[in-house]
Structures are given as structure tokens and as C-alpha cells.
Amino acid sequence: AREPRDRLRVAIQKSGRLGDPARDLLSAVGLTWRESRDRLFCFGEGLPIDLLLVRDDDIPGLLTEGVADFGILGRNVLAETGLDGTAPGLEEVRQLGFGPCRLAIGVPEGWDYEGPAQLEGLRIATSYPAITQDWLRRHGVDARTVTLSGSVEIAPSLGQADVVCDLVSSGGTLRANSLKPVETLLESEAVLAAPPGRPEGVRGELADLLLRRLDGVRRVAD
């Protein structure tokens, strides 16, 4: 049998928008690490709190499987894996205030958009099929989602889809692809996520300590 873990593990994005600010936040609460050479695992030095550097999409699975105790990821990813059944029941423990964006439907610039009914029968390219289908269902619209893991915005000009449902931050990516946002499905930002309940033993105490310190630096920052 595996030994129970006595160190806390926090999974963050290895590269991408949320990785550096997540790491900066954890540094600001006083954590330090000895980096491994491949930079996938950072061993905590002062406190026994280690970092896992992974793809954001893998964080819900790591939490569900108990490989990580906390994860910092976009609410959009947490919502998608909660809805599609791959990582149900994870909790949004704190919202972290960085990485704001929204999940939006983007249609060709020239369209006169009048409402969800206009999407009936169309193909929607997205990396968030569960959130998109949930929204369509709630608006009584029947449309097909085409699931792509990246470069979603190019699908309409390639003829692979009619519209997109993707994250919008500055709006630059949609504009560069002659699309415009017309519906917001979800307001997102970086969040701290965890499996339900407190970890047992020493990890539970470390979890409480980390949350207290996070609340402390966030209060100072607000």
C-alpha cells in the first residue's frame, strides 16, 4: 500500500495565462521551492507544500484522483469538467481575482445577431462542449458542437463551423478572425479549487495554513 502523503500538493498551469500569476501568488504567501530540472515538480522548502506544473485541463483530474490537494485554474475549466462528468463535485474554494475573461459565443462580424434562436441548427466550434450544450439546452436551441482543443477561432473561416464559443479576454483573437462576441455564457477568472472536504491529518493543517495566508495577502491587495 502507498504511504499516506504528508506533504500538500498544489497544481498550477505550467505555461499560459494563469501559470505565472499563480506562482507569484504562492510566492507572496511565503512559499519557496527547489525546482526540479524538468520543472514539472517543485519541492517546497520552507513548508512541505509542493507544486505540480501541468496543463490546466489536467488539474480537475489530478484533484479528483487525489494526486493534488489544491489547483489554480480558470473557472471555465472547472465548470466544463464538472458538467461533462469527468471531474464532478470539485469545489471552488476561493476566487483569486486574476485572469478575468468570459466564455462567449462569437459570430461573423457582418451578422445581425438577434438572439439564441439564430443559432438553431448551426455548428459551434468550442473547447467547452458541455457548458455550450448546457446553455443551448436552457435556451431551447438545438445546435451541434464541434470540439477543438485549440485554435477554435479559425474554424469558421475554414468552413469547419459556423460560429465559436471561446474565451474572450481583450477580444483581440475574435477580432483578428473577423468574429464578434454576442452572448456571454460564463464570467471566469482564476480560482482555487479542491475536492470536497478537508484533507486528513497534517495535510489538513497545511491546507488551513495556506488558505489563511492566501486570505491575508488578498486582503492586503484588495
Cell numbers for 122: 448551426
Residue 17 interacts with, from Zn ion, ligand PRP, none (CB under 5-8 Å by kind) = ligand PRP
Binding residue for ligand PRP (CB under 6 A) from 85, 110, 150, 159? 150
String marking each residue 36-75 x if it binds ligand PRP according to CB under 6 A: ----------------------------------------
58 part of the interface to Zn ion, by CB under 5 A:
no
Class of residue 73 by CB neighbours under 10 A (exposed 0-12, middle 13-18, buried 19+): buried
Residue 173 interacts with, from ligand PRP, Zn ion, none (CB under 5-8 Å by kind) = ligand PRP
16 part of the interface to ligand PRP, by CB under 6 A:
yes
How many Å apart are CA 115 and CA 18, to the nearest integer? 32
Least distance in Å: CB of 158 to Zn ion? 20
Least distance in Å: CB of 56 to Zn ion? 5
Give the count of beta carbons closer than 10 Å to the beta carbon of residue 35.
12
Q: What is the biggest distance separating any 2 CA atoms in the chain, rounded to whole angstroms?
A: 62
166 part of the interface to Zn ion, by CB under 5 A:
no
Q: Within the chain, where are the H helices?
A: 19-28, 59-64, 75-83, 129-138, 155-158, 172-176, 201-221
Least distance in Å: CB of 211 to Zn ion? 25
157 part of the interface to ligand PRP, by CB under 6 A:
no
Class of residue 97 by CB neighbours under 10 A (exposed 0-12, middle 13-18, buried 19+): middle
80 part of the interface to Zn ion, by CB under 5 A:
no
The residues that touch ligand PRP, with contacts defined as CB under 6 A, are 16-17, 150, 166-173
